[in-house]
Structure 1
């Protein structure tokens, strides 16, 4: 297992540079990155823009994967796209250091001013309680890379019900730098597609092009449950949706668009 997903390199020309470890590698192809590490790194870059504005909280994260992200050095930067006192949008992007300079991944985040609405708070679902884990955590057992850096505890569910997995990051994101709870969630939430897999990965490839996360409550802790279900259309396009929980209850939802292809 790698020590962290990324190792920090010297900054240059307004970009932060990072070496990508094997711990970022996708279960589909070990030469490209899984979506969760880039989502977490770009989320971290966005949060660093707002260290002096603690009244703002992320209500939505949207990752768009614009190209294959190599397990290689990358550079990232973030900026405020839409400033505001109560509502603001920030954007972060990732590019490869070598080869083409095009954007490989982009995260946009809506940040909103928090206020006291405790007397009006509602949860759509009751909290989930973790039970005994299944022996088969997922359909990619033995795949090296990102899956080795996450604790993946698949729960026993009845036939026809959405799949549920409790997940926790096992390594830091960048060297030994501290993590926020939002970054911890970002390190696992892109895995909803694998949790809710509706197809056999030995017969089909179903890679997500994006991950949209909506959070009505700030995540807390290091353990998160994804209750996910995939839907596959008749023309090679699918969608995975998930409900997201921490130890204290339901915190939000995610959705992913899937490209579905048969394995040759």
Structure 2
């Protein structure tokens, strides 16, 4: 039985309060959270705020404002730019600092757009991906406790020099036993693109992302998602990971992440 990433606690004022479980723990440091659970939790807050509005998310951006502890967190969402066709919705996560003061540790901004019928003009840049047999030793953090134990990670065989491809599926719930939307399921895995497309050895370097931006030209469907990902490392300690995102029905969007790269 996989524990949910978060357990709901009594609300505090304008914020919903959650206990973070060890299923949120990062492969880099088990005392801080992997980026995917906070992205998914704030995405949930945004979706719940916008229920009934008729708009759908076209872009999500997570900015990690500091180390997010595996500890109680507070989340709120609000409409920053209202509109019938285009709306900007924000969510924020707070945590307690060692000195007892609260601080913002993460924010998600989402552009919500009004759907219309463009089926006759729909086009994908890439053909659908078909999952094949998983290769052994699917990632460089085998045995790391925490978040990586809450997802199914199936690396695919690719030719030397090609982008890495991994099929991923969340294995548990996000909050308690709340039902999941397909967008929340995608958010629960998409921040892993940095690990999928790792261009350098994590035994020699730390390369943590400061953000994750996801553009979706089609709504995700299902519980299985493929990330075709590649990292680029600059000469001065800054990198970028970009990925194409697929579900079982085809190409659905892209992601990009900024990396801080440091030698161990």
Q: How many residues align?
A: 262
The whole-number CA distance in structure 2 between the counterparts of 1:133 and 1:31 is 30
State the match for 2:177 in structure 1: 176
**Paired residues of 1:2 and 1:21 also in contact (CA < 8 A):** no
The whole-number CA distance in structure 1 between the counterparts of 2:142 and 2:235 is 28
TM-score, normalised to structure 1's length? 0.98
Task: Report whether the alignment pairs 1:227 with 2:228.
Answer: yes
Cα shift readout 1:18-39 (whole Å, capped 9, x = no counterpart): 0000000000000000000000
State the match for 2:47 in structure 1: 47
| Unmatched segments (≥5 aa) in structure 1 | none
Q: What's the CA shift for 1:97?
A: 4.3
Root mean square deviation, CA, Å: 0.8
**Paired residues of 2:96 and 2:103 also in contact (CA < 8 A):** no
The whole-number CA distance in structure 1 between the counterparts of 2:83 and 2:20 is 34
Equivalences for 1:1-264 in 2 at 5 Å? Answer: 2-53=2-53, 55-97=54-96, 99-263=100-264
**Paired residues of 1:153 and 1:167 also in contact (CA < 8 A):** yes
Runs of 4+ in structure 1 deviating by more than 2 angstroms, as ranges, are 97-100
**Paired residues of 1:95 and 1:105 also in contact (CA < 8 A):** yes
**Paired residues of 2:55 and 2:114 also in contact (CA < 8 A):** yes
| Unmatched segments (≥5 aa) in structure 2 | none
Cα shift readout 1:66-88 (whole Å, capped 9, x = no counterpart): 00000000000000000001000
**Paired residues of 1:207 and 1:259 also in contact (CA < 8 A):** yes
**Paired residues of 1:168 and 1:224 also in contact (CA < 8 A):** yes
Q: Secondary structure of 1:217's match?
A: coil
The whole-number CA distance in structure 2 between the counterparts of 1:134 and 1:16 is 41
TM-score, normalised to structure 2's length? 0.98
Q: What's the CA shift for 1:137?
A: 1.3
